[in-house]
A and B are shown apart, each in its own frame.
Chain A
Amino acid sequence: MNLLPLAARNLLRNRRRSATTLFAMIVGAMAILLFGGYARNINLGLQTDFVRHAGHLQIQHRDYFLFGNGNPAAYGLADYRRIIDVVRADPVLRPMLKVATPTLSLGGIAGNYAAGVSRTVIGGGVVVAEQNRMRQWNDYNFPITTKPLHLSGTTPDAVVIGTGVARVLQLCAPLAIRNCPTPHVEPATGDSVPDDIAALAGEARAQRAASDGTTIELLAANAHGAPNVARLKVVAAVPQGVKELDDMIVQMHFAAAQKLVYGGDTPKATAIVLQLAHTDQIPAARVRLEQLLAQHFPGQPLTVLDFATLNSSYGQIVGMFGAIFGFIALLIGVIVLFTVSNTMSMAVVERTVEIGTLRAIGLRRAGIRRLFVIEGALLGLAGSVAGVVVALGAAWLINHGGLSWTPPGNVEPVPLTIRVWGEYTMLLGTLLGLTLVAGISAWWPARRAARLEIVDALRHV
């Protein structure tokens, strides 16, 4: 006998109880999907952010990632131009590749001699036009507008610094940065330094006051360990979400950085940043890159790293959300298990005489079991379908509700979006998972129903 319509009718019999169970399942499915959609959105948002700034893959000196931090200049890629040419020309990579651009990382000391202050900074040189193209990447269609780099259209000696750098270097006023206090205590000058240096500083200060007041000196060690200085013009101070970074970061034109680090030597890059059209192309692209490097640059200590390796926090955050999601899903699974099980137990008790009757007229024990399991699974299916629909609706409302939030590490609030629609794996998983859980939770009551003795069941009142 076709048990589905029978199960459906039985569910409609005690509408109130079925509705309560459905409601619990809807709330559960909604919790899973909304949180899942939120976590998914964060993961993709982070990924988008990383990919826009540092690409999907980077070609680096084999030891740069682990050892290059202290002295980036020593791990430069002299052949970076040729590598980029080979990569761009490759017919396998071409359809995947969006941007291939060199970067040069460096560390140094930035000083505002006019104010008599300096601090260590990290940063690097970038090819601005190519970086701007990287910032266009939006494979997950985030509702964001992309602003070009502050270095765009600036003179070769331009530099962009973190607001923290600007604060320490006392450039807040000249750069007109908001929320950027000046220190309460004047830093010690004059007394503790030799007269000639104090005089020099004073002179510089006087000069600077006359000019626009936004020039800094950047002192860096060149590839041989000797100091080199560049005078750079601060065009903007950009707040960074993480204070440590905000207090340290400088960004300049690639050529200027090369000149600072390599002077008259062969200019190098510390990394070649590759951005692909889609993140899932990483494995294929990587395989091809390794082939190309081995073929064209044999013996060179090169390596290819993906963005997840370069940004270990990405994996950690994804893992953390995964764990929370799993916990929530488990919790809701257990709640659904008990709710459906309870509902089905009550149904079995209520319908004991009916069970006896069905058995008397010839339905086997297995038939009774099937009847209740199907009923539970149908309840589960109805609940999870309704839950999915409601979650989609709720997500739509949230996405169109104009809500915004500031993710950790971000400076500006972003629209609060929840990705439920289109996340077919999650939707299908929730649907099938909850239906399965409901079917399983009906199993025990169904088993109990099937094991009833017919005469006892018929005598039940």
Chain B
Amino acid sequence: MQAVVLSGVGKHYRLGQVDVPALTDIGFEIRAQRFTVLSGPSGSGKTTLLNLIGGIDRPDSGKVLIDGQDLGELDDDALSDFRARRIGFIFQNFNLLPVLTAYENVEYPLLLARTPAAARQERVRELLEAVGLADKARNRPNQLSGGQRQRVAVARALATRPTLVLADEPTANLDSHTGAGIIALMRRIQREQHATFVFSSHDPAVLAEADDAVHIRDGAITAIERRDEVTA
């Protein structure tokens, strides 16, 4: 089953007078309930690609389908609602809301999805438990370490049980030990929750954990590895 299908996707930026092609004619599929890594050097177009998959940016050409839904057919509000229900984001800089506690940060997407209070509470507890931060529920982000913040962010991304979780270099701002912990956590949760994870990274340690790896360079795919063809 395919979680994401891209076909003929192109994106370019205008930098002053010049056109900078960021992605050219990208077409590939991301399998559901796998851990896929987009791998490539800095400037290769990983972030741009993830933004298109996550529906926070629109391609200049081509199509992005998530669970069969063509994102190009959705208007801004519908796309927002789609993201709220179906996609979880994990950012390089954690991007937690500083005025909300860990608990409230995890709860926020559930509020957007209008989840009833009781279900909300249960889900937030469960997730904070899963990321090992049950005792930090009342802490604000500035009272948490970088690793703890990213764990809250992971919990937040998973709150609405999205079909797709996207993470753009989630370990880039963490030391290697903490980063490895986060990767292990995500790997575990991805399996437990049967979620589809897509990462971008140029960290070999992350690459090693992936089910699938998509190699990208200068805005084009150079190779796709499907490592667990047999064991899935």
Chain A residues in the interface with B (C-beta under 8 A): 1, 6, 9-10, 12-13, 353-354, 356-367, 453-455, 458
Whether the Cβ atoms of B109 and A361 lie closer than 8 Å is yes
Given contacts A362-B113, A455-B51, contact A6 B99 (CB under 8 A): yes
24 sampled A-B residue pairs with Cβ under 8 A? A1-B112, A9-B99, A9-B100, A13-B99, A353-B95, A354-B97, A357-B89, A358-B97, A359-B80, A360-B83, A361-B156, A362-B80, A362-B83, A362-B109, A362-B112, A363-B80, A364-B80, A365-B76, A365-B77, A365-B80, A367-B112, A455-B51, A455-B56, A455-B57
> Is B84 in the interface zone, CB < 8 Å from A?
yes
Given contacts A353-B95, A357-B97, A455-B57, contact A362 B81 (CB under 8 A): yes
Given contacts A13-B98, A363-B80, contact A1 B89 (CB under 8 A): no
Interchain CB contact (< 8 A) of B56 among A6, A364, A365, A458:
A458
Taken together as a complex, chains A and B put the C-alpha atoms of A354 and B105 apart, in Å, by 12
Whether the Cβ atoms of B112 and A357 lie closer than 8 Å is no
A contact residues around B82 at 8 Å (CB): 362
Whether the Cβ atoms of B112 and A454 lie closer than 8 Å is no
A contact residues around B98 at 8 Å (CB): 13, 354
> Is B85 in the interface zone, CB < 8 Å from A?
yes
> Is B91 in the interface zone, CB < 8 Å from A?
yes
Whole-angstrom distance between the Cβ of B127 and the nearest chain A Cβ:
14
Whether the Cβ atoms of B108 and A359 lie closer than 8 Å is no
Interchain CB contact (< 8 A) of A361 among B76, B77, B99, B112:
B112
A contact residues around B80 at 8 Å (CB): 359, 362-365
The total of chain B residues at the interface (CB under 8 A) is: 28
Whether the Cβ atoms of A357 and B109 lie closer than 8 Å is no
Whether the Cβ atoms of A1 and B56 lie closer than 8 Å is no
Whether the Cβ atoms of A357 and B57 lie closer than 8 Å is no
Taken together as a complex, chains A and B put the C-alpha atoms of A357 and B153 apart, in Å, by 11
Whether the Cβ atoms of A357 and B56 lie closer than 8 Å is no
Q: Which of B138-189 contact A (CB under 8 A)?
A: 156
Taken together as a complex, chains A and B put the C-alpha atoms of A1 and B100 apart, in Å, by 13
- A457, closest chain B residue (CB): B56
Whether the Cβ atoms of A360 and B89 lie closer than 8 Å is yes
Whole-angstrom distance between the Cβ of B201 and the nearest chain A Cβ:
18
Whether the Cβ atoms of A454 and B56 lie closer than 8 Å is yes
Given contacts A364-B77, A364-B80, A455-B51, contact A359 B56 (CB under 8 A): yes
- B99, closest chain A residue (CB): A9
- A357, closest chain B residue (CB): B95
Whole-angstrom distance between the Cβ of A4 and the nearest chain B Cβ:
13
Given contacts A354-B97, A357-B95, contact A363 B112 (CB under 8 A): yes
B contact residues around A458 at 8 Å (CB): 56, 91, 95
- A459, closest chain B residue (CB): B47
Whether the Cβ atoms of B89 and A361 lie closer than 8 Å is yes
Given contacts A361-B108, A364-B80, contact A454 B95 (CB under 8 A): no
Q: Which of B92-122 contact A (CB under 8 A)?
A: 93, 95, 97-100, 108-109, 111-113
A contact residues around B83 at 8 Å (CB): 360-362
> Is B45 in the interface zone, CB < 8 Å from A?
no
Taken together as a complex, chains A and B put the C-alpha atoms of A363 and B91 apart, in Å, by 17
Taken together as a complex, chains A and B put the C-alpha atoms of A388 and B54 apart, in Å, by 49
Taken together as a complex, chains A and B put the C-alpha atoms of A454 and B52 apart, in Å, by 11
Taken together as a complex, chains A and B put the C-alpha atoms of A13 and B77 apart, in Å, by 29
Pairs of residues from A and B, 5 with the lowest C-beta to C-beta distance, nearest first: A362-B84, A9-B99, A1-B111, A454-B56, A357-B95
Whether the Cβ atoms of B108 and A1 lie closer than 8 Å is yes
A contact residues around B56 at 8 Å (CB): 359-360, 454-455, 458
Whether the Cβ atoms of A360 and B108 lie closer than 8 Å is no
A contact residues around B111 at 8 Å (CB): 1
Taken together as a complex, chains A and B put the C-alpha atoms of A354 and B141 apart, in Å, by 13
Taken together as a complex, chains A and B put the C-alpha atoms of A6 and B91 apart, in Å, by 22
Whether the Cβ atoms of B84 and A361 lie closer than 8 Å is yes
B contact residues around A359 at 8 Å (CB): 56, 80
Whole-angstrom distance between the Cβ of B131 and the nearest chain A Cβ:
17
Whole-angstrom distance between the Cβ of A340 and the nearest chain B Cβ:
19
Taken together as a complex, chains A and B put the C-alpha atoms of A364 and B80 apart, in Å, by 6
